[in-house]
Amino acid sequence: MSLFLSAGHSPAAPGAAWRGFVEHLEAREWVAELSRLLPGAQLVPPGELGAKIRWVNARARPTDLAVEVHFNAATPTARGSETLYAPGSRRGAVLAADVQAVLARFFEPSRGIKPGWYQANPAKGPLAFLAQTRCTALILEPEFIYRADEIRAHRAACCAALANALRRYV
């Protein structure tokens, strides 16, 4: 089984930012750390979402796993971790529960696992990374972007624990 690691967003559209702390740049740090701990994991090239999905789909089998790292944004008082999976994916829900258990040890409160609907609205359909990849896919939201110091402080330990959890599936 193969593991695909993707940093959320792209250099051209870097996602959320707060006081100079940029989502895509930090997601790249997490992906680099995970790939160091998980030799053989395939790094998804940065780029627009459609290109990333096509890249994964050209290489993935249904039994593989794709993981994309993001950081939530809402209001500066928001905090906590969550893991998203493709709506209706039983395997995705199981893997999301294992991954979320790890994230929750480092970033409380646990916001749980959730089917990944676009803007949390089932009428808008599922998030593309989750629904359009050929394999099981997860989106990790370790913490809100406003907690840069905590995110950096826990990066290495959380990635080590995530790597241990992901080894069971790949």
Helix axes 23-37, 148-167, angle to 10 degrees: 30
43: domain CATH number? 3.40.630.40
CA distance 78 to 139: 18
pLDDT at 135: 97
- DSSP letters for 36-100: HHSTTPEEPPSS-HHHHHHHHHHH--TT-EEEEE--B-S-TT---EEEEE-TT-HHHHHHHHHHH
CA nearest to 130, candidates 78, 88, 161, 165: 88
Indicate the number of domains in the chain: 1
pLDDT at 118: 87
Is residue 113 within 8 Å of residue 84, measured between CB atoms? yes
pLDDT at 40: 96
Is residue 68 within 8 Å of residue 132, measured between CB atoms? no
Average pLDDT by stretches of 10, the chain with 170 residues:
96 96 98 98 97 98 97 96 97 98 98 93 93 97 98 98 94
Residue 36 lies in domain: 3-167
CA distance 104 to 97: 10
Is residue 80 within 8 Å of residue 109, measured between CB atoms? yes
- Is the pTM higher than 0.95? The answer reads yes
